[in-house]
Amino acid sequence: MTNYSGTIEKLNSLDRHDSKDYSGLRVNTENSLNYLLATMFPRFICPDFPCDERDRTGASYLEKAVYHLGRALSYVLPGEEVSSCADQMVERLPKIKEILLSDVEAAYEGDPAAKSTDEVILTYPAFTAIGSYRIAHELFSLNVPLIPRIMTEYAHRVTGIDIHPGATIGRRFFIDHGTGVVIGETTTIGEHVKLYQHVTLGARSFEVAEDGSLVKGIKRHPDIGNDVIIYAGATILGGDTVIGNNCVIGGNVWLTHSIPDGETVVASHSREQRSDKNI
């Protein structure tokens, strides 16, 4: 048998001496996310194989969610804070489910292809992405490091929808199709907003400090009002860009400035035009 000890020694020598051991963080985070979703929707989501079809309440899923969340939190928080943080997350689950149900209703009402809300929960990638985001956002608001990003990047990997857990998103949020959607960290989105595939809500540029490093923690992404529709391929950039209430942003539009309430913006021959007509 070949001896690989020399290779292992060389690999280990490249590690930073101050690096922590995160070996179990990702798997416990992803497990906790799946069990938290199953706790809220036990009739639709079963992380276990084979499924225990007797559990219709989600009680056993919650026990497993708390176990894996506690294991994950132990990598990033002091030991005395782990139990309290997990308890706070459990207390927030009813509110998260209430908001998620409004998202499901928005999807069903906004997509003629949806035959039922059950279909939305079972088949729509937006449900997985938005559900993962809403859980991760609560942990982000509790100042939990790393875990919120692992959760939303797991959903990104599964669905192709990239929502930063720091974004603030209102109720009745729907992403139709979803592939390629990007929502940046400091984005705010109002209520009853609908996005289509390949929409980017991103940063226009990055502020640089005197030493050449990027300035972090500042507003970089746009604000989207209530009752807004953003069609496929639209790109909206900048922390000072505000899209007003009741706006429609057409496909492939590139925006780096604000739009007042009630406007429709379309792209024609690669040149942005403003119109008060519906698309």
pLDDT for position 274: 52
Residue 238 to residue 205: CA distance in whole angstroms: 7
Q: Please state, in angstroms and rounded to a whole number, the distance separating the CA atoms of residues 166 and 150.
A: 13
Nearest to 111 by CA among 123, 99, 95, 100: 123
Q: Check: CB of residue 278 under 8 Å from CB of residue 259.
A: no
Pull the structure tokens for residue 177.
């199709």
- The 10 Å Cβ neighbour count of residue 245 is 15
For 180-279, which CATH superfamily applies? Hexapeptide repeat proteins (2.160.10.10)
User: Residue 97: what pLDDT?
Assistant: 98
107, 116, 123, 171, 217 from 113: Cα distances, Å: 10, 9, 12, 21, 40
- Is the separation of the CB atoms in 158 and 178 below 8 Å? no
Give the C-alpha distances (Å, rounded to integers) separating 10 from 4, 14, 23, 233, 252. Answer: 10, 7, 19, 46, 49
Residue spans of the chain under pLDDT 50? 269-272, 275-279
CATH class as words, domain 23-161: mainly alpha
pLDDT at residue number 277: 40
Structural domain boundaries in the chain = 23-161, 180-279
Q: Which SS3 state, helix, strand or coil, does residue 83 take?
A: helix
Structure tokens at 87: 């308890």
CB atoms closer than 10 angstroms to residue 126 = 23
CA dihedral 8, 11, 14, 15 (to 10 degrees): -80
Instruction: Determine the pLDDT at residue 52.
Output: 63
Instruction: For residue 250, give both structure tokens.
Output: 């057409």
Strands across the sheet with 271-275, in order? 174-175, 194-195, 229-230, 248-249, 264-268, 271-275
At residue 3, the pLDDT reads 85
- Alpha-helix runs per DSSP H in the chain: 5-13, 25-40, 59-73, 79-110, 117-123, 125-141, 147-159
Instruction: Measure CA of the first residue to CA of the last residue in the chain; give whole Å.
Output: 67
